[in-house]
Amino acid sequence: MKAAARLTERRTAPTEVLVVLPTFNEKENLERVVAAVRHLGHDVLVVDDSSPDGTGEIADGLAAADPGVRVLHRERKLGIGTAYEDAFRIGLAEGTALFVEMDADGSHRAQDLDAIVDAARGCGGLAIGSRYMRGGEIVGWPAHRLVLSRGANLYTRTLLGLRVRDCTSGFRCYTRDLLASIKLDEVVSQGYSFQIEMVHRTVKLGYPVIEVPIRFEDRIAGASKVSQGEIRRALWTVLRLSTSR
């Protein structure tokens, strides 16, 4: 059974771009990230999974003060994949043209956002903020985490035959046409492997994937939500997708 959700009321006409920020315990970071995105003029939809630290209440305050911000409250922690799916369905129903995935922890810089949006608009498919192409970089990660991330991308590219260098990046922009073609109800990955499956489906459908270099900065406040279990599920997802091509 689908969990109950509550969406704050829209008070303005939708803009072309919707930036989706999934949250779970991001009270130290959310206000700063939302302000940076709104400074660029894009709508924001925060998807909060009943954060016990009060993130949802902070998001409500931001929405009350700014008609370009809305909040989707979900009754429990359901995962980043379903957060994006729920937000995408809302945007598709409202006529949004471009859909951005962005972390709410501050690791994705707003100054990289418009280059990603412009790339998606120009190619008509998917634009990914890439840490692993020329010009991209990661700041603040320990060596073991960098090795794990690079290894996961190599594993993904090899098994799925992808030419995308950063398949796991969570900073990206989809066009409306692409999301409508993907058929979100058929996407099975619900955690961080959602990113991999969406790239795989994009390529299978024949849509272009463009990578844009970004500077990824590790979070200053709060804790990472990437667990060992999430990593194992992502590796299993790649194997499963490789056998269903």
Torsion angles phi and psi, residue 45, rounded to 5: -125, 110
Q: Is the dihedral of CA 122, 211, 224, 154 positive or negative?
A: positive
The CA distance from 113 to 110, in Å, is 5
Is 224 a residue whose pLDDT tops 60? Answer: no
Q: What does the domain layout of the chain look like in residue ranges?
A: 5-242
**pLDDT, tens only, 42-99:** 999 999 999 999 999 999 999 999 999 999 999 999 989 999 999 999 999 999 999 9
The residue-averaged pLDDT of 1-18 equals 81
Phi-psi region of 54 (alpha: psi -120 to 50; beta: other; left: phi over 0): left
Please give the pLDDT value at position 234. Answer: 76
Q: What is the largest CA-CA distance in the chain?
A: 49
Please give the pLDDT value at position 243. Answer: 84
Please give the pLDDT value at position 1. Answer: 34
Tokens of 131: 């840490």
Percent of the chain with pLDDT over 90: 79
Please give the pLDDT value at position 223. Answer: 54
Please give the pLDDT value at position 227. Answer: 57
Tokens of 200: 């795989």
The DSSP secondary-structure symbol of 104 reads T
pLDDT band at 40 (very low <50, low <70, confident <90, very high): very high
Please give the pLDDT value at position 240. Answer: 84
Query: Considering the entire predicted model, what is its pTM?
Result: 0.93
Comparison of pLDDT for 218 and 220, the residue scoring more: 218
Is 3 a residue whose pLDDT tops 80? Answer: no
The residue-averaged pLDDT of 23-33 equals 96
The CA distance from 205 to 182, in Å, is 8
Q: Tell which CATH architecture fits domain 5-242.
A: Alpha-Beta Complex (3.90)
Question: What is the DSSP secondary-structure string of 145-211?
Answer: HHHHHHHHHHHHHHHHT---S-TT-S-EEEEHHHHHHH-GGG----STHHHHHHHHHHHHTT--EEE
Tokens of 127: 């634009």
- Helix/strand/coil (H, E, C) string of 214-236? CEEECCCCCCCCCCHHHHHHHHH
Residues 6+ apart with CB under 8 A from 86: 5, 47, 72, 74
Mean pLDDT of the chain: 92
Q: Worst-scoring range by mean pLDDT, 8-22, 61-75, 95-109?
A: 8-22
Comparison of pLDDT for 230 and 22, the residue scoring more: 22
The CA distance from 112 to 102, in Å, is 11
**pLDDT, tens only, 113-172:** 999 999 999 999 999 999 999 999 999 999 998 998 899 999 999 999 999 999 999 999
pLDDT band at 190 (very low <50, low <70, confident <90, very high): confident
Torsion angles phi and psi, residue 71, rounded to 5: -130, 135
Q: Is the dihedral of CA 127, 133, 139, 145 positive or negative?
A: positive
